[in-house]
Amino acid sequence: MPLSKPRLVQTVQHRVPPLHRADLAGVLVSETDLQKRIAVMGRAISKDYAGKDVLVVSLLSGTVLFLADLLRRMSFPLRVDFLGVSSYGAGTESGDLVFTKDLRLDVRGVHVLVVDDILDTGKTLRAVTGKIAALRPASLRTCVLLDKRERRIESIEADYVGFRIPNLFVVGYGLDFAERYRNLPFVGVLRPEVFEANARPERKGPR
Ligand code: XMP
C-alpha cells in the first residue's frame, strides 16, 4: 500500500491545447493538478525523511520534469544520483531491460528513495530495486508519479504514488513516445493512431 493515498484519475478531463490536438486524445493530468499533488508528496516525503542521510535515485530520462519539481518540494538535505534504464520491445509494450548508466554514489548504509515516472508492468521497478537492495542501503523506498495498476505483471507497489491512472499510453511531463512530447507541462493521452503509425519492431526507445 502506498504511504499516502494516490489521486485517482479515471477519465480524460481537460481539453488539449490546439497545437497538440492531432496527436493527443486528451489531457489526463493538468499542470495545476500535477503541481498541487507534487507539493503534497514533497511534504509527506520531507516528513518521513527528516534527519536522515538520503540519496534520491532518479531513473533516466522520463523522470526529469517530475524530479525537478519534486526536489524543490523536499525540504531536507539530500543527494541525487541517476540510473539509466532502457526497455526494449515493440511499440508501446515493455520489453527487456538494459542498464545504460550506473550509479556514481555509494548507496551502502544510506536511505535510498528511487524516483520513477510511471509504474506499469512493474518490471523496471522490480529490476531497479533488486539491483539497489543488493548494495545494502539503510532503507529503500520508491516514488512514482503515475501508476497504471491494471497492467501490473510483477507484484510490486510504490511507496509514494502521485496519480493512479487507467490503462492508456500517456506522454508529456517527461514521458515520451519516440523521444517526443517530454516537454509538455501536462500528462496527455497519445492517440492510438500515432503509436500505431510509428510502431517500430526493434525498440521502444530510451526512457
Ligand atoms: P514497467 O512496465 O517496467 O514500465 O513498469 C516502466 C517504464 O515504461 C515506460 N512506460 C511508459 N512511457 N507512456 C510512456 O511514455 C506510458 O504510458 C508508459 N508506460 C510505461 C516508462 O519509461 C516507465 O518508466
| Secondary structure (3-state) at 99 | strand
Q: How many CB atoms lie within 10 A of CB 21?
A: 12
Which ligand 1 atom sits closest to the C-alpha of 207? 22
Backbone angles phi, psi at 153, to 5 degrees: -110, -45
Residue 84, φ and ψ in degrees, nearest 5:
-95, 125
Residue nearest to atom 4 of ligand 1 (CA): 120
Specify the DSSP class assigned to residue 172: B
| Residues in contact with ligand 1 (CB, 6 Å cut-off) | 62, 87, 94, 116-124, 169-171, 175-177, 207
pLDDT, tens digit, 9 for 90 and up, residues 23-42: 999 999 999 999 999 999 99
Ligand 1 centroid to 154 CA: how many Å? 14
**120 is an active site residue:** yes
From the number of C-beta atoms within 10 Å of its C-beta (0-12, 13-18, 19+), residue 1 rates as exposed
- Look at residue 198 in the predicted model and tell me its pLDDT: 75
pLDDT per residue as tens digits for the range 154-204: 999 999 999 999 999 999 999 999 999 999 999 999 998 988 887 654 444
Pocket test for ligand 1, best of 124, 148, 149, 184 (most atoms within 8 A of CB): 124
Alpha-carbon distances of 179 from 17, 62, 151, rounded to whole Å: 20, 10, 22
What gap in Å lies between CA 207 and CA 199, rounded to an integer?
A: 16
Q: 23, 69, 120, 147: which is the annotated catalytic residue?
A: 120
- Per-residue pLDDT tens digits for 136-154: 999 999 999 999 999 999 9
Question: For 69-111, how does the pLDDT look when each residue is reduced to its tens digit (9 = 90+)?
Answer: 999 999 999 999 999 998 765 555 656 899 999 999 999 999 9
Q: What is the pTM of this model?
A: 0.92
